Amino acid sequence: MGLEPTRRARAGTRLVWALVAAGLIAAGCGGDDDSGSAGDTTGAESDISEQGDPVYGGSITVGLEAETDEWLPGNGSFANAGTSVAYAIYDPLMRRDADGEMQPYLAESIEPNDDLTEWTLTLRPGVQFHDGTPLNAEALKTVFDDYLKAPGTNTAGALTDVEMVIVDDLTVTYQLPNPNSAWPDQLGLAVGWPFSPTAAAAAGEDAGSQPVGTGPFVFDSWERDNRLVVKKNPDYWQEGLPYLDEIVFRPIPDEDTRISSLTTGDIDVLQTLRQSSGVRVRDLDGVDSYEQLGNTTGVNIFNTTKPPLDDVRVREALARAVDQEQIIEIQGGTGVVPPSTQIFNEDDPYWSEAVADAWPGYDADAAGELIDEYVNDPARSDGKAPGEPVTFRYDCPPDPSLVDMAQLYQSFWGQVGVEVELRQVEQATHISEAISGDYDAKCFRAGLDRDPYPTLNDAFTADSAINFTRFTDPAIDADLEALAASSDLEERQALVEEISLIVNENFPMTYHGSTLSVLGARDVVKNLDGWSFPDGAEGSGTPGATTMWGFVWTTE
């Protein structure tokens, strides 16, 4: 693949992998089974009808929250909507199981060497792409070298200095520049969605609109912004799957009309990552609600290199001045979304009670004192005269619920003497400014359904292009290095806890609630969360409102 400007311009889209603008993307992990967090006052509460026995045949229509720019892994920006479609056409080499561990899915096995710098992956025998091209080591290497690592692709950055070596017809080794215990995590994302190199080469520049994978469904047609149709793959490598004959994916960006379309039967399944929409779906008659709490939390990010937010006293005051429960309430999340004290949610193995305890609660008096201390400091970082008020700009995308939230933040901060200018800014600009550091404070989301190493490495290291807060710490660097080199869960949990404590002591971000992802389905559509691995292990349900479509059936 050449160095086309078209491909190069997409460099920016890879940045949505780890830390994503509010309302744009979220993902879930560590959710539970049908019962959700039963007994909790807040959290995911799936409400699912009797599933019955699988039925073959039928067609369903799925309403997605957005269109995807194109479908070739490495080039397409696979947010939740795109990932959902991708799981129909492609199979991931690895996926997360019900316990949050990465397990082989399309791959048969994966093994690291002793120092975690080489990962040897073995493919299943007899698997073919939809065009008949065999899935073997050579196909995997062609995709890796010619497409995924091509300059300007979304995936090139994650694969810098990574080499793939063919061992035999079905085995390859990923050679990494440094130890990385989280490498299998990468193979659950677009890097690990093999596509036919033969079909991609034949399609040339149009490969992104004619995806050919190994998945349970074969791409049939795509009218951008209207519908993408996939048909049953009769030669699917998993015996007995898929159940459905056809799936029609329709992007319906407006939340209200997407819900209306479900109630009128225009669509059979919808996805949403809005708390208020999730609550509405719960109340719909004849609709099953599959909820999962994301390993993602709403945050405010502060530019720690720019006065006055370069002073930790100001950042701590902004954290203490806000009642998080009220922020959640104004977003419609009361009773649904629990407050956050860290990136990881309470079901996640990396959530830490010590970190939760260390996070300061709502204390306007303490916040006021910290602001007074800064305001009266002759050496205050913003260069203003003592007594002058603290001022900064707070940016959010122009979503109604985010506008309400921004106004509430402005009110909380105003009560402790901070003057905040609110600004609405479109998503693309919002992200660009966060990357370039041209901002004071912004509403964002932090975290993803991933191993903590890439998430924290992206968020808090000097080399990361998406360290939006610019916060770094030598102790965090050391912990991250140890995290990458360890595969021991307890050791890793301790390292993540140390990092989270350092982050929370320095307040580069504040939190406003986990993210709830919801798949709402007419009760004739079954088994959205019942997928499993080829060896029978239970899958991770519907993280980020995505599912494995091969396991879904309809009784209609």
Partner 1 sequence: MRQALRRLPTMAATLLVVSFLTFLLTGLLPGDPAVQILGPEGANDPEAVAAVRADLRLDDPLPARYAGWLGDALTGDLGRSYRTGQPVAEAIGERLPVTVEVGTLAVVLALAVAIPLGTFSAFRAGGPADRVITGTSFGLLAVPNFMMAILLIWILAETLGWLPATGWVRLTDDPVGNLRTAIMPALALATGELAVYTRLLRADMITTLQQDSITMARAKGMPTARILFRHALRPSSFSLMTVVGLQVGAIIGGSVVIETLFALPGVGRLLVDSILQRDLIMVQGVALVIAISFVVINFVVDLLYTLLDPRIRHGRPATA
Q: Which residues bind partner 1 (CB under 8 A)?
A: 3-12, 15, 63, 67, 69-70, 75, 151-152, 205, 208-209, 223-227, 250-254, 256-258, 260-261, 263-264, 266-267, 426-429, 432, 435-436, 465
Cα angle at 254 between 466 and 407, to 5 degrees? 60
Nearer Cβ to partner 1, position 156 or 176?
A: 156
Cβ closest to partner 1, residue 124 vs residue 250: 250
Q: What are the start-end ranges of the E strands in 319-440?
A: 390-396, 418-424
Cα 8 to Cα 3: distance, rounded to the nearest angstrom: 7
Separation in Å, CA 181 to CA 178, 451, 480, 490: 10, 9, 11, 14
Closer to partner 1 at the Cβ: 11 or 524?
11
Least Å distance, CB 106 to partner 1, is: 26
- Smallest distance, Å, CB 61 to partner 1? 9
Output 250 or 315, the one with its CB closest to partner 1.
250
**Tokens 């002058």 — which residue?**
388
Which residue type is seen at 390? V
Contact 26, 20 (CB under 8 A): yes
The terminus-to-terminus CA distance of the chain in angstroms comes to 45
AA identity, residue 112:
P
Question: Helix 255-263 to helix 275-282 angle, to the nearest 10 degrees?
Answer: 10
**C-beta closer to partner 1: residue 40 or 256:** 256
Nearer to partner 1, 468 or 553 (CB): 468
Q: Which is nearer to partner 1, 42 or 75 (CB)?
A: 75
Compute the least distance from the CB of residue 203 to partner 1, in Å. Answer: 11
Which residue number, 222 or 237, has a Cβ lying nearer to partner 1?
Answer: 222
Kindly state the smallest distance separating residue 277's Cβ from partner 1, in Å.
Answer: 15
Question: CB of 70: closest distance to partner 1 in angstroms?
Answer: 6
Query: Is the distance from CB of 520 to CB of 292 less than 8 angstroms?
Result: no
Contact 277, 259 (CB under 8 A): yes
Question: CA nearest 460: which of 451, 447, 472, 475?
Answer: 472
Q: How far apart are CA 495 and CA 104, in angstroms?
A: 26
What minimum distance in Å lies between the beta carbon of 437 and partner 1? 9
- The total number of residues shown for the chain amounts to 556
Strands 390-396 and 287-302: unpaired
Least CB distance from residue 281 to partner 1, whole Å? 15
CA distances from 415 to 155, 308, 374, 420 (A): 45, 17, 16, 11
Cβ proximity to partner 1, 98 vs 435, nearer residue: 435
Least separation in angstroms between residue 487's CB and partner 1 is 32
Sheet holding 171-175, edge to edge: 107-112, 118-123, 171-175, 163-168
Cβ proximity to partner 1: between 4 and 99 the closer is: 4
| Closest CB 175 distance from partner 1, rounded Å | 25
Q: What is the C-alpha R_g of the chain?
A: 23
Question: Smallest gap, in angstroms, from Cβ of residue 194 to partner 1?
Answer: 21
Are 71 and 211 contacting, i.e. CB atoms less than 8 angstroms apart? yes
Closest to partner 1 by CB, 37 vs 75, is 75
CB of residue 209 to partner 1, shortest distance in Å: 7
> Which of 464, 421, 350, 376 lies closest to 29, judged by CA?
350
CA-to-CA distance for 140 and 93, rounded, in angstroms? 11
Minimum CB separation of residue 192 from partner 1 in Å reads 22
Buried b (16+ CB within 10 A) or exposed e, 463-476: ebebbbbbbbbeeb
Shorter beta-carbon distance to partner 1: residue 123 or 269: 269
DSSP element (H, E) containing 496: helix 489-506
Question: 184 φ, ψ to 5°?
Answer: -55, -30
**Under 8 Å between Cβ of 332 and 276:** yes
Which pair of structure tokens corresponds to residue 401?
């619920």
